[in-house]
Structure 1
Amino acid sequence: MADNEQTDTTVTGPDDVPAMNDLDRKVTGEFSGYTVRKDLVGKVKGNALVPSYVLEYLLGKYVTTTDWESVRAGVERVRAILADNYVHREEANLIQSKIREKGRYQVIDKVQVTLNEKLDQYEATFENLGISRVVVDSATVKKNPKLLVTGIWCMCTLVYAYSGDPKDVPWRLHRLMPVQMSHDDRENYLAMRSRFTAGEWVDLLMQSVGFEPALFFERAKLLHLVRMIPFVERNYNLIELGPKGTGKSHIYSEFSPHGMLISGGEVTAAKLFVNNSSGQIGLVGYWDTVAFDEFAGKTKKADRALVDIMKNYMANKSFSRGRNTMQAEASMAFIGNTSHNVPYMLKNTDLFEELPKQYHDPAFLDRIHYYVPGWEFEQIRSEMFTSGYGFVVDYLAEILHNLRDVDYASKYEKYFALSPTLSTRDKDGVRKTFSGLMKLIYPSGEATMEEMEPLLRCAIEGRKRVKDQLCRIDSTMTEVDFSYTRAGSPDPIAVHTVEEDDYPDLYWRGRSVSAGSVGNDAVKQPAPPVPAAGSSSGSGSSQPTKPSEPAKPMESAKPALSRIERAAAAAKAGHLDFSEGRSGVSYNRLFGAYVAGAKRITLQDPYIRYSYQARNLAEFLETVYDYTNRADEVQVHLIVGQADDQLIDQQIDNLDQLKTTFGPMGIILTYEFSTTAHDRFIVTDTGWRISLGRGLDIYQRYDDKNWLNPQLRRQNLRQIKEFSVDYRHVGE
C-alpha cells in the first residue's frame, strides 16, 4: 500500500459519540486510566472559569473508560461536582451559607496562603469564595509551597465553627488536595512509549494538548511541540511573536499546573525574583515555566532594573537584588502579537520590532534560545480541536516536570557536529532545544541518526532566527554559519529559516547574502532522510555548502521591471461594457493593473451583505494581494451599507473574518457602514478611480456547494451579469 493511502478503520459509536480510530484504541489500551476524550472538557466546562487541567483532573478520576454509557455517566458526575462544588464569584454568599448550614462542605477554588507574622500562623484566601484568614497548618504549606506564591487550584473541605469571639474566623480548613498528580509514573510512561511509532507519539502529544493532528502538517506539529519545551527543559528561554488568534498563550494557561501565565505589564522584580522586604523568592522559584502574555507593544515600558535582573537570570540561572545571589530553574516564555507581516518587518525593521524598547536590546535578545515563528500558525478554528483521546494533562505535565532532571543535549554529538563558528550562546540554544524535543518525542533518549537530524535542524533554525535578527539590530554582532556536518562527511549542511528562503532579498537587506543561503528559484539538494515522526519540517531548506565561499558580486545591469510594475504600466483609462452570459472575466483582468503597486485602496460597495457577497470581497482582496508588493502593507478601506437586523450579525462576522484572514498577509482591511452610500467605485492612492456599475457582484449564480466545481476557483469560468466599468486617472 502506498505511503499516502489509509484504510478506514474507524468505529462508529452510538448517537453523537465520535468514532475511535486506531490511535485512540491504542492509547486507551496502553495507557488505561491516564487518558481522556479531549472534547469532554468543553462539554463539562460550561461557564466555570477554571483551567483545562482542573477539569481533566476530574475527568481523569471519573471518565477513564471507553464504554459510552460509562463515559456519559462519568461526565454527568463531573458536571454535578462542578455544579455543587465549583465556586462562582456571584454565588459566593450561597456557598458560604451552605458551609454554615451543613457544617462541612467541599469546594473547588484557587487558594493562596500568606504568613500572619503577628499570630505566627499561615492563613488562606479563597479567590472565588471571597473568604480569608482561614488557618492552614504548616505541614500543608510545606507540602505545597506554591500556595505561598500565586496560589493553586485545590479541592478543599471547609468546616464552619463559630466560637462566639467576633475576632475569630469561623472557617476551618479540614482538608486540602491540590488538583495535580502527585507521583512520578515515568517508568511506565517510557515502557508504553516503546510501543508507539514516533509518528503515533507526536500525534498523541498533539491530541493531549487538544488539537486534531490530522489537520496539521508535520512542521506545524513540531512547532507546537517546541511550545512545550519550557515545561520539560530547565532555564529555557523562548519567544513567540505572531498574529492574534493562533493559540500562543493556550498551552501556558491551560496545559500544566506547573506553569504560570502572567501579563507582561504586571510583573515586578519582587514578584518575579525575590521580595527584599520578606526575603521570599518569587515566581521563578516555584514554577517550571513563567510565561509573559501580551509581551509585545512598542509603547509599553519596563523597569530597567527588572530587565537587567532578567538578563542575568536568563544567562546564568541566578539573580540578586542587593542581597545573596539565588538560583532557580524556571523557564521563560515571551509571547506577543505582531502588527505587521513578515516581509514588511524584514524590509523596514526586524522580527523583534514589536518589543518594548527596554527589551529590544541585543543583550537581552541574545539570551533567547528559540524564536517560534508565530506567523506560521493558522488562526485557531473550532474544527482544529480534537475529539480523540489524549493524556490527562496533569499526568503528562507531571511526567514532563520529572523529565526536567534529564539532559539529552549532547545526544546528537555521535552523529553530528555543529559549525565551529557558532558562539557559546548559539550552541546553548541549539543544544537545549534539541534536548527538549528529544524528551518530548524520544523520552528514553534513544534515537537513530535519521530520527535525530530533523530535531537538530529545527533547533538550529530557531536559534538562527534570533541571531540573524540580532545582526540587524547590532552592527557589531558577528554573523556566524548555522550549519552542521554528519559523521563521516566533510560537507557542511546549511540550515535556513523559512522566511530567509521566501524573501532572500529582504532577509539579507543591506548585507551580502550569507553563504549557503538560497532564493526561491534556487535548486535545493535533497533534504536528509525523514524519520517516522515526520519531523523533517523542523527547519527551512538545507543543502551542502561551503560556508567560507564568498558571495559573488552582482553584475551591473539595468534592473528589469517587476511583474507589478509591468502590470501598472498596462493600466489605461477607458470604458468597458460586458454583455449578459459571457465568461472569461476575472477580477485580475478587471482590476489587477489598476491596483498594482497601490498602498491605499478605498472600495465603496453598499451591497456586501450576504455571504456570497463577502466571498466576492475576499476574491477582490486576493487580486489586491497578487498585484501589490508583499514588503508593503496595503490598506483597503470598505464603505458598505448595513444589513437589516436579521443579517447584521452575519455581515459583521464575515467582515471581521476577512480582516483576521488577510491581516497577516499584509492586506489590512477596515470598514465603515454608511446609510447614504449609493455609487460603487474603487479609488487607489496611485491615482486611479474605477466606477463599477454593479460593484463586485458581477457573476451569475453557480454551484458553490460543490467544492469540486472549478468555478469556485476560476472566475473566468463563471457566467457574468451585464455590467460596465469606467477607468479614470486623476488629472487626465
Structure 2
Amino acid sequence: MTDTMQHELSPLDRKITDAFPQHTVRKDLVGEIKGNAVVPTYVLEFLLSQFATTTDALSIESGVRRVQEILAQHYVHRDEAMLVQSKIREKGHYRVIDKVQVTLNEKLDRYEASFSNLNIRQVVVDPDIVQKNEKLLVTGIWCICRIGYAYTGEKDEVPWRLESLRSVQMATDDVHNFIEGRKKFSTEEWVDLLLQSIGFNPELFSDRAKLLLLVRMVPFVERNFNVVELGPKGTGKSHIYSEFSPHGMLISGGEISVAKLFVNNATGRVGLVGFWDTVAFDEFAGRNKKAGKELVDIMKNYMANKTFSRGVEQIPGEASLVFVGNTDHDVPTMLRTSDLFEALPSQYHDPAFLDRIHAYIPGWEFEQIRSEMFTDGYGFVVDYLAEVLHNLRDLDYSDRFNPYFELSSSLSTRDKDGIRKTFSGLMKLVYPSGEASAEQIELLLRLAIEGRKRVKDQLCRMDATMTPVDFAYTRIGSETPIAVKTFEEIDYPKLYWRRRTDDESDEDDGTIPEGALPEAEEPQAAAPNKNAANARPALSAVERMQALAKPGEVTLEENERGYSYNRLFGPYVAGARQIELTDPYIRVAHQMRNLAEFLEMVRNNSDPHQRVHVHLITKEDEEAYRARQQLEMLGQLEHNYTQMGIDLTYAFDETIHDRQLRTDTGWKVSLGRGLDIFQKGNESDWLSPQNRIQQMRRVKSCTFIYRRDDDALAEQEM
C-alpha cells in the first residue's frame, strides 16, 4: 500500500464522510490519478466518485487503480488520436473520454459531433442525445462516449457513429439531503467543509480569507450576479471557474465576440450566457486591451436588465458574469494615482459599466497559492456540490436579514441590489436552509455591504457627479447606524478619500496603516532633577504602567488594527500577584496562543523577582478528541510558564458565560469577547508579521469595561 493511501482522518473528515457517504472524496487523490491527462477536476472526481468514495485505505487504493486504468484505456491524448481511431475501427466500437461539441448540419438535416482530442468530426448524433444535453451545442462538454464504426463505401458517408453519451455531470437534485446534512455541522465546520471541497486546507486560511473564497462561489449559486476580482498574480483567482463546476465557463484572455457571448444574429444561435450558470473572463485586466463598443453596450444592458437583444426580441439570461484580472500596483499606489479599477481596459473603466457590478473581491488580500495550501482531507465531489448549487439558484434569501437589520435609506437601488444578491448567495452557501441567528446573519451582511461599497466608493472617485452614500445598517429597534468600512479605507484613510480632502496636508498620506506599528505603551519617566533636594525617586516600569490604569470603557471597531493585550490590559495587571481570568473559550489552538500571549504580557508587567499566580476558569470542550487536546495544551502552558515565574492553574466550570479579569490590585475588567479579540489568520505562517506583532492583527468588534473591584481592594487592605 502506498504512503499516499495512508491517511489519518481528522474529526471533520469523519463527520463529512458520515454525513455524506456517497458524495465525498479525498481531495489529494485527484493529483494521484491525473498524470498528464488535461482533464478538469470535476471529470476526475466524477470518476473517483464511482470507485473511491470510501475511507478504507485498501478500497481507496483499489479505486484509484481502477480510475487510472480507465484514464489509461479511454482518455484520448491528442498525440494518440490515430491509435484510438484504429481501435474503434478494429473493434467496431470503443469508449472514450473526450470533450464533445455538436453542430447542426442543415444540408443533411442531422446533428454532427466533433471530438476535441480524438480529432474526428461529422460524427452522427441521435437528436435525443442532443435534446438531453443542450450544452453540446454551445462550447461542448466532457463526456464518456461509446463511438461506433461502420463503413459501407457509400459516397459522402461518415463511418463514425455516436452510440451513447454520458455527460460527466450529475442529473439529480439532492438539495433536500444537502440541507439536512448541513444541520450536523457547526458554521465553522461547514465553511471548512466547503473549502476542502474546492481543494484548500482551511487551517491555512484566516476566517476573513475563508469568507472571501466563498464570495468567489456566489456566481454558481446566485443568478445574474456580477462580480469583479482584481489582485496580484498567482492568488488563484480563476481556478474555481475553470476546475470547479461543469456549469461554469472560463474564457481565457478576456476577449470574446457578441455572437459567441450573447447571440449570433446570422444563425439565431444563443451564446454562452444562455446556457451556463457562470461565465468568467480570465485576464480581464490590461490597459492596452480593446473591446468593441457593441460588446460593452450589450454587456451593460444584460448586467442591468438580465436580457440581451436579438433584433427586436429580448432574450432572458441567467448567467452570472465574473471578471478577474491582475493588478499592476499595490493598493496605496492605486489609491494615490488613480482608483482600484485602474488595471481595467479603458472601455470597461467606465462608471456606467462598473455601477452594474454587485461586488468587488479584494484580490490583494489573498496569499499566493502554495502547495501546502491544498488539502489532503475529504470534501464534496465537486460535481455533486456544483449540481446542488445549481439547484439552489431557484431560492432567494435576499430578504433574510430584514427581521433583524435595515439598510441605510441613502443607498441607491443598485447599491441595495448588489448587497442583497451577495448576501443571498452567501446565505445559500453557509446556511442553505435560510435559517440563521442575527449574529450569524450580521457577519454575512457586513461582507456583502463591503463588497458593494468597494465598487461605489471607487465610482465616486472616478465620477464627480456620483453621489456618495452611507454604507451603514441599523439593528431593528435601534436608531444608531452601524457604518461598514473597507479594509483599504481603514488602512489608508487619507488616500482612500483623497479627492474629498484636497484641503488637507499631504504630509501624512496614510501609506502606513494608522496604529499598525507598536505604540508607545507606557509613559516615559521624567529625567531626574539632580539639583532638587526633595526630588522623588524615579518610578519603576511597573509603577509607570499602573499609573495609566483608570476606570472607563474601550470599544474596538470591527477590522481595526493597532491593539495589543499590553495596551488593553497592561495597566490593570501591572504589579498583580493574583490574577483570575474567566473565559469559556480557551479550547482550540489559536485560543491557546491567545492565553500564552496574555501570560507573556503579565510577566512583562510584573516584578521579575516575584511569582504571579494566574487562575483560568474556562469550559471543557464538548468533543472528547478536542477535550484531550485542550488538556494537553493547558498542561504544556502550565509547564512552560512556570519557568518564567507564572504559576498557571485552571478549572472547568460549565455554568460560566461572562468573560472577566480580576486582579488582587483592585481591578475588574469586563471582557466582551474574552481574549479572542483578534481575527483568525494563518497561524502556521511565521514569516507573517501578523503572527508576531499583535498590533498588526485586525480585531473583532468588542467592548471592555474597567472598574475598581471593591472585594479585591478589601482583601488587599486586610
The reply to whether TM is greater than 0.5 is: yes
Q: Which amino acid aligns with 2:459?
A: L
Hey, what's the Cα distance between the residues in 2 that align with 1:64 and 1:453?
A: 37
In the superposition, relative to structure 1, how do residues 209 and 540 fare at CA in structure 2: closer, same or farther (>3 Å)?
Answer: farther
In the other structure, the counterpart of 1:203 is 192
Select the residue among 403, 421, 428 that pairs with 1:414.
403
Q: Which SS does the other structure have where 1:19 is aligned?
A: coil
- Maintained 8 Å contact 1:495/1:540: no
Instruction: Structure 2: state its 5+ residue gaps.
Output: 503-509, 517-552, 562-685, 694-718
Select the residue among 219, 226, 232 that pairs with 1:230.
219
Hey, what's the Cα distance between the residues in 2 that align with 1:106 and 1:398?
A: 25
- Maintained 8 Å contact 1:497/1:540: no
Q: Which amino acid aligns with 2:471?
A: F
1:525 aligns with 2:555: yes
Cα RMSD (Å) of the superposition? 2.2
Hey, what's the Cα distance between the residues in 2 that align with 1:432 and 1:510?
A: 30
Q: Which SS does the other structure have where 2:500 is aligned?
A: coil
Q: Which amino acid aligns with 1:525?
A: T
1:73 aligns with 2:62: yes
Hey, what's the Cα distance between the residues in 2 that align with 1:527 and 1:386?
A: 33
Hey, what's the Cα distance between the residues in 2 that align with 1:356 and 1:205?
A: 34
Hey, what's the Cα distance between the residues in 2 that align with 1:322 and 1:172?
A: 37
In the other structure, the counterpart of 1:658 is none
In the TM superposition, residue 280 of structure 1 has moved relative to its aligned partner by 1.0
In the superposition, relative to structure 1, how do residues 159 and 540 fare at CA in structure 2: closer, same or farther (>3 Å)?
Answer: farther
Q: Which amino acid aligns with 1:270?
A: A
In the TM superposition, residue 323 of structure 1 has moved relative to its aligned partner by 3.2
Q: Which amino acid aligns with 2:322?
A: A
In the other structure, the counterpart of 1:453 is 442
Q: Which amino acid aligns with 2:217?
A: M
1:555-610 CA deviation, whole Å, 9 max, x = no partner? xxxxxxxxxxxxxxxxxxxxxxxxxxxxxxxxxxxxxxxxxxxxxxxxxxxxxxxx
Q: Which SS does the other structure have where 2:390 is aligned?
A: helix
1:439-470 CA deviation, whole Å, 9 max, x = no partner? 00000000010110000000000000000000
Q: Which amino acid aligns with 1:318?
A: T
In the other structure, the counterpart of 2:112 is 123
In the other structure, the counterpart of 2:483 is 494
Hey, what's the Cα distance between the residues in 1 that align with 2:268 and 2:252?
A: 24
- Maintained 8 Å contact 1:265/1:302: no
Once the two structures are overlaid, the 10-residue window that deviates more, 390-399 or 315-324, is 315-324
Q: Which SS does the other structure have where 1:132 is aligned?
A: strand
1:6-32 CA deviation, whole Å, 9 max, x = no partner? xxxxxx997762321000011011100
- Maintained 8 Å contact 1:13/1:19: no
Hey, what's the Cα distance between the residues in 2 that align with 1:145 and 1:524?
A: 60
Q: Which SS does the other structure have where 1:155 is aligned?
A: strand
1:351 aligns with 2:318: no
Hey, what's the Cα distance between the residues in 2 that align with 1:386 and 1:473?
A: 41
1:99 aligns with 2:88: yes
In the TM superposition, residue 145 of structure 1 has moved relative to its aligned partner by 0.5
Hey, what's the Cα distance between the residues in 1 that align with 2:4 and 2:216?
A: 36
In the TM superposition, residue 104 of structure 1 has moved relative to its aligned partner by 1.2
Q: Which amino acid aligns with 1:347?
A: R
In the TM superposition, residue 165 of structure 1 has moved relative to its aligned partner by 1.9
Hey, what's the Cα distance between the residues in 2 that align with 1:122 and 1:14?
A: 48
In the other structure, the counterpart of 2:36 is 47
* Percent identical: 67
In the TM superposition, residue 264 of structure 1 has moved relative to its aligned partner by 4.3
In the other structure, the counterpart of 1:482 is 471
Hey, what's the Cα distance between the residues in 2 that align with 1:236 and 1:198?
A: 24
Hey, what's the Cα distance between the residues in 2 that align with 1:18 and 1:46?
A: 21
In the other structure, the counterpart of 1:184 is 173
Instruction: Structure 1: state its 5+ residue gaps.
Output: 1-11, 529-538, 542-706, 715-732
- Maintained 8 Å contact 1:116/1:123: yes
In the TM superposition, residue 244 of structure 1 has moved relative to its aligned partner by 0.5
Q: Which SS does the other structure have where 2:129 is aligned?
A: helix
1:384 aligns with 2:414: no
1:28 aligns with 2:17: yes
Select the residue among 416, 431, 441 that pairs with 2:420.
431
In the superposition, relative to structure 1, how do residues 196 and 296 fare at CA in structure 2: closer, same or farther (>3 Å)?
Answer: same
Hey, what's the Cα distance between the residues in 2 that align with 1:223 and 1:434?
A: 12
- Maintained 8 Å contact 2:278/2:321: yes
Hey, what's the Cα distance between the residues in 1 that align with 2:338 and 2:169?
A: 44
1:165 aligns with 2:154: yes
In the other structure, the counterpart of 1:61 is 50
Trace 1:527-566 onto structure 2 (pairs within 5 A). none
Q: How many residues were matched structurally?
A: 522
In the TM superposition, residue 383 of structure 1 has moved relative to its aligned partner by 0.2
Q: Which amino acid aligns with 1:182?
A: A
In the superposition, relative to structure 1, how do residues 219 and 15 fare at CA in structure 2: closer, same or farther (>3 Å)?
Answer: closer
Q: Which SS does the other structure have where 1:87 is aligned?
A: coil
- Maintained 8 Å contact 2:9/2:377: yes
Once the two structures are overlaid, the 10-residue window that deviates more, 260-269 or 428-437, is 260-269
Q: Which amino acid aligns with 2:435?
A: E
In the other structure, the counterpart of 1:300 is 289
In the other structure, the counterpart of 1:579 is none
In the TM superposition, residue 527 of structure 1 has moved relative to its aligned partner by 5.0
In the other structure, the counterpart of 2:644 is none
Hey, what's the Cα distance between the residues in 2 that align with 1:133 and 1:14?
A: 46
Q: Which amino acid aligns with 1:414?
A: P
In the other structure, the counterpart of 1:322 is 311
Q: Which SS does the other structure have where 2:165 is aligned?
A: strand
In the other structure, the counterpart of 1:548 is none
- Maintained 8 Å contact 2:142/2:168: yes
In the other structure, the counterpart of 1:463 is 452
- Maintained 8 Å contact 1:483/1:495: yes
